[in-house]
Amino acid sequence: MRRHLLGRSRRGRDMSKSAVFSPILRGSHGTFVGTTPIDGVRRLYSYHRTPGFPLVVVVGRAMTDVLAPWYRRVWAFGGIIAAVDLLIIALAAMLARQWRRRQAIEDHLRHMVGTDGLTGMGSRRALDDATDREWRRAHRERQPLSLLMLDVDHFKQFNDQYGHMAGDDALAAVGSCIQQQIRRPGDYAGRYGGEEFAVLLPGTDAAGAALIAENIRKAAERLHLAHAGSPLGNLTVSIGTVTDGADWNGGRHFPDVRAFLRAGDEALYQAKRSGRNRVVGSGTLATATAT
């Protein structure tokens, strides 16, 4: 009221019916929120009747002043929460980046472990895992599984005469020949060790395995890599093949994967003993091993 002095027109005016004073008449004390008709400011009022006197003590404070501390706390807490949120987002981004880096490192290590560094083919470990996996799948789905065991002929003499670098190049070239002859997604080739390679052919019968093996042998022969230590004068390969499949009553030719691999090794050694540069299938050897 001090800020807004009453003019003559407002003096003597009955304010008991106004929105501000009407709540005061209903009780001896209390609080309420109202807007004064004089300045239009919304205030929080507190009133109390004075006992024994026709007086009412009224205190009014603007709502903006009443809520100012609350607004300050809200802004302070809001700022803290926003800072915490930003910190959490930053930490989440850092963790996500570290997780991606870890995944990339693990993928790289997995690739290194599963890949032969010289030929780019599967490593021995990856080959063992693939053999076990395809063996179980072939049994589960009652499908044939063929294996090619390949060895570079007279490779020790080749290394001794031409050097280890030439030997590494020769192994890489043979590995490339193998990869070019297996095109199905399920086929898998790897370096078995030294100058030996292995090829897994899921869903391939004995005739199909023999055909692929012969194609690999011819491809290696077409490399025309000079080899003075070989009777043929060129680098050649010997390949043994073995196929495991279900017989008429649902049984398999081999009791376990170790017997399957032994049959492949024996077929390879048979190819080497019989003159090298040839493909030998396990044939009756599979039945003999199974029994």
pLDDT tens sequence across 172-224: 999 999 999 998 888 999 999 899 999 999 999 999 999 999 999 999 999 99
The pLDDT-based confidence of 290 (bands split at 50, 70, 90) is: very low
CA distance 74 to 67: 10
Tell whether pTM > 0.85: no
The pLDDT-based confidence of 158 (bands split at 50, 70, 90) is: very high
Point out the least confidently predicted range of 123-127, 244-248, 278-282.
244-248
- % of residues, the chain, pLDDT over 70: 87
pLDDT at residue 285 in the model: 41
pLDDT at residue 66 in the model: 80
Neighbouring residues of 76: CB distance < 8 A, sequence distance ≥ 6? none
Is residue 195 annotated as part of the catalytic site, yes or no? Answer: yes
Are 109 and 178 spatial neighbours (Cβ–Cβ below 8 Å)?
no
Residue 210 CB-density burial (10 A; 0-12 exposed, 13-18 middle, 19+ buried): buried
Average pLDDT over the chain, rounded to an integer: 85
The pLDDT-based confidence of 283 (bands split at 50, 70, 90) is: low
Closest Cα to residue 279, out of 271, 289, 290? Answer: 271
Work out the average pLDDT over 120-147.
Answer: 92
Q: What is the pLDDT of residues 32-48, one digit of tens each?
A: 887 776 677 888 788 88
CA distance 203 to 13: 106
- % of residues, the chain, pLDDT over 90: 57
Are 213 and 279 spatial neighbours (Cβ–Cβ below 8 Å)?
yes
Closest Cα to residue 203, out of 215, 187, 189, 216? Answer: 187
Give domain limits for the chain.
124-290
Q: Which amino acid is at 18?
A: S
pLDDT at residue 109 in the model: 79
pLDDT at residue 162 in the model: 94
pLDDT at residue 271 in the model: 95
CA distance 138 to 55: 102
Place of tokens 């080739």: 189
**193 phi and psi, to 5 degrees?**
150, 135
Name the strands in the sheet holding 196-202, side by side, starting at the edge strand that comes first in the sequence: 188-193, 196-202, 145-152, 237-244, 279-281
Closest Cα to residue 37, out of 23, 20, 24, 22? Answer: 20
The CA-atom distances, in angstroms, between 118 and each of 73, 170, 174, 227, 273 are 68, 10, 11, 20, 28
Place of tokens 């991606």: 100
Q: What is the pLDDT of residues 90-127, one digit of tens each?
A: 999 999 999 999 998 888 777 777 788 899 999 999 99
Neighbouring residues of 124: CB distance < 8 A, sequence distance ≥ 6? 116, 190, 191, 192, 193
Tokens of 215: 């194609």
Are 88 and 80 spatial neighbours (Cβ–Cβ below 8 Å)?
no
Q: Which of 134, 195, 196, 266 is catalytic?
A: 195
Place of tokens 């194609």: 215
Q: What is the pLDDT of residues 168-179, one digit of tens each?
A: 999 999 999 999
**Fold of the 124-290 domain:** Alpha-Beta Plaits (3.30.70)
Place of tokens 């019916």: 17
The pLDDT-based confidence of 29 (bands split at 50, 70, 90) is: confident
CA distance 119 to 190: 9
